[in-house]
Amino acid sequence: MMDWTDRHCRFFHRLLTRRALLYTEMLTTGAILHGDRDRLLGFDAAEHPVALQLGGSDPAALAECARIGADYGYDEINLNVGCPSDRVQEGRFGACLMLEPALVGDCVAAMKAAVKIPVTVKCRIGVDEQEPEQALFSFTGIVKAAGTDAVIVHARKAWLKGLSPRENREVPPLDYAIVHRLKAVHPDLAIVLNGGIASVEQARAERGQLDGVMMGRAAYQEPWRLLSVDAAFYGEAPAFATPKQAALALVPYIEREMAKGVRLNSITRHVLGLFRAVPGARAFRRHLSVEAVKPAASAQVLADALALVPDTLGEVRHIAA
């Protein structure tokens, strides 16, 4: 989810679900230690609960970044050992670390010693020629002994040679059963399923056997799905009755952020998938795509786009200047 789940995306998603745990995009230790921390790590208090996802392989650097993340107020620190991109492999982090489970254990132990908030690991079921049953179960045993609070398993292998990052999300077959078996072996460890979860209904079905379910691209590409999360998992009514209402609630945030110099399309790009198969959905996307990138664009662009999508609660009113 690199370049996707930035702070603007997370603020928008929090309007759709009060309760789901949100994750940052993966941030490397180098970027945090040497970059603009406020830009990289700053977030709105409304985003809680939110986890900081780290990429790295040096225990000391990860421990320091975990401390920094905790000081910024994150609710969880997550180590990504599942991303298969070439950039990640060149930096010796992400899925290639499945081949170095002892090192990952050292990283987890260092992070746990550095912070009091939960430390979790996101992994694959194996990489390349690894036999998944052996690789995943051995890896889990090592990070569990190191103190991880949860293991989030993308239930596909990662092929580091021969497949692109996109193909690695689609070509290797999903194996949810192996994640269920992992939970049976580790009933005292939180095991979360990731990979190919396309709907809240599917997530709910899988949640019955596991401790949690992570929804990635489906939640981003079709964020309207998140409106049903609170009712499905927590027995609570959603904050808004319709996607349109939730998008309108984003307007004050847009106005505030634009006053700080943020471009409108930096925020509205995360809203493009909010409607599907309803009258006006295509016109909504087209209007945002064309108008939000213009230098003079304001929050009124979103209001005008929403006016193209009728709902039972009436049309969008003009935003006062």
Helices (H), the chain: 7-16, 29-34, 37-41, 59-72, 86-90, 101-114, 132-145, 165-168, 176-185, 200-207, 217-221, 229-234, 243-249, 251-259, 264-268, 281-291, 300-306
Calculate ∠ Cα 162-142-101, nearest 5°: 30
Calculate ∠ Cα 213-216-219, nearest 5°: 100
| Assigned token pair, 315 | 């049309």
Q: How many CB atoms lie within 10 A of CB 170?
A: 12
DSSP code string of 145-195? HTT-SEEEEESS-B-TTT--HHHHTTSSPP-HHHHHHHHHH-TTSEEEEES
Q: How many CB atoms lie within 10 A of CB 319?
A: 17
Question: Which residue is associated with the tokens 């979103």?
Answer: 302
Helices (H), 28-128: 29-34, 37-41, 59-72, 86-90, 101-114
Which residue type does 76 have? E
Catalytic residues: 83
Of 207, 184, 186, 185, whose CA–CA distance to 194 is shortest? 207
